[in-house]
Amino acid sequence: MTSSQSDLDAAQEPVGVTSQCGFIAIVGRPNVGKSTLLNHLIQQKISITSRKPQTTRHNVIGIKTEKSAQLVFVDTPGIHRGHQKAINRAMNRAATTALQGVDIIVFVVDKDQWTEQDDVVREYIHEASCPVIVAVNKLDQMASKNEILPWLSLLHEKMPGAELVPISALKNQNIERLQSLILQKLPRAPFHYPEDQITDRSMRFMAAEIIREKITRQMGAELPYQVAVEIEEFTDEARLKTIGALIWVEREGQKRILVGDGGCRLKSIGQQARQDMEKLFAAKVMLNLWVKVKSGWSDSERALRSLGFDNI
């Protein structure tokens, strides 16, 4: 056989494979709506069905299997400007690694704001060679849908070659259109994961993520990156999980804020985190939280590694 074209076709579309499967990165600056979008795309709170260790180099945050297509959503831990602090360096490395080898990038931007941070994300995307879909989010906040037209043509100039799709992650508008664009671009490949698996992250990791999410939600800008969560204890009995976590902050002042008057803030963080964990693990959870001060940890590579940041 001399024709190389049929070899090429074979390479692109494996013989006999009728399913589609691919890795999709959802990227964008903080607060633009990535988590909200992911929850709608997956259409259920991510739950743990397996304690299998990571099987790929990606941080898988959600898997959706529908008919003959499997969408594997991966995390891009923080794309940040500024390389001075060790934590930023670690996060930038992680972001670059996360974008290598994905099949599709969904770049979430705001309906009428483009900031320097969007430029940073765009630079990262520029290094990747896969198709990009720009999801223009928070459409529900526009008085009239026509207002978005000039914005779309501006985005088109910023991201030539990318498909643009206006959405509202919060109100679930146009998410189907986004999903069908993703499906169009999803490679033909066998499934990577069993059909019933929704995420491959370990329970410990998910527990830490939930605590971190509740802290961020309650504290907002008061505690930017100077917080890390370390799971110290994870006892896994059939109907009860006992989880002990250390929350590391950089300064005494931050500890005071996080703990709150008479411990009220920490208590409410703990209550919310426990409720989410109970849903996720389908078990009763006893959660103990401690706040500790580790001065200057975010600027020390070794301290970061000891907290597991080398493989985020």
Residues found near ligand GDP in the complex (CB under 6 A): 28, 30-36, 137-138, 140-141, 168-171
Nearest residue to ligand GDP by CB is: 33
The pair of structure tokens assigned to 273 is 């985190």
185 binds, among ligand GDP, Mg ion, none (CB under 5 to 8 A by kind): none
What phi-psi label fits residue 56: left (phi over 0), alpha (psi between -120 and 50 degrees) or beta?
beta
Q: What angle do CA 308, 277, 268 make, to 5 degrees?
A: 95
Cβ atoms of 70 and 18 within 8 Å: the answer is: no
Q: State the nearest-atom distance from the C-beta of 51 to ligand GDP, in Å.
A: 26
Nearest in space to 166 (alpha carbons), one of 102, 103, 112, 124: 112
Q: State the nearest-atom distance from the C-beta of 26 to ligand GDP, in Å.
A: 8
Residue 279 host element (H or E)? helix 264-281
Q: State the nearest-atom distance from the C-beta of 78 to ligand GDP, in Å.
A: 10
Q: State the nearest-atom distance from the C-beta of 182 to ligand GDP, in Å.
A: 18
265 binds, among ligand GDP, Mg ion, none (CB under 5 to 8 A by kind): none
Nearest residue to Mg ion by CB is: 35
Q: Which of 141, 311 has the CB closer to ligand GDP?
A: 141
Nearest in space to 197 (alpha carbons), one of 25, 71, 285, 18: 71
Query: How many CB atoms are located within 10 Å of the residue 55 CB?
Result: 10
Q: Which residues bind Mg ion (CB under 5 A)?
A: 34-35
Q: Which of 34, 64 has the CB closer to Mg ion?
A: 34
Q: Which of 169, 304 has the CB closer to ligand GDP?
A: 169
Q: Is 214 helix (H, G, I), strand (E, B) or coil?
A: helix
Q: State the nearest-atom distance from the C-beta of 105 to Mg ion, in Å.
A: 16
242 binds, among Mg ion, ligand GDP, none (CB under 5 to 8 A by kind): none
Query: How many CB atoms are located within 10 Å of the residue 135 CB?
Result: 26
The pair of structure tokens assigned to 32 is 């633009």
Q: State the nearest-atom distance from the C-beta of 66 to ligand GDP, in Å.
A: 22
138 binds, among ligand GDP, Mg ion, none (CB under 5 to 8 A by kind): ligand GDP
Cβ atoms of 166 and 176 within 8 Å: the answer is: no
Q: Which of 95, 243 has the CB closer to ligand GDP?
A: 95
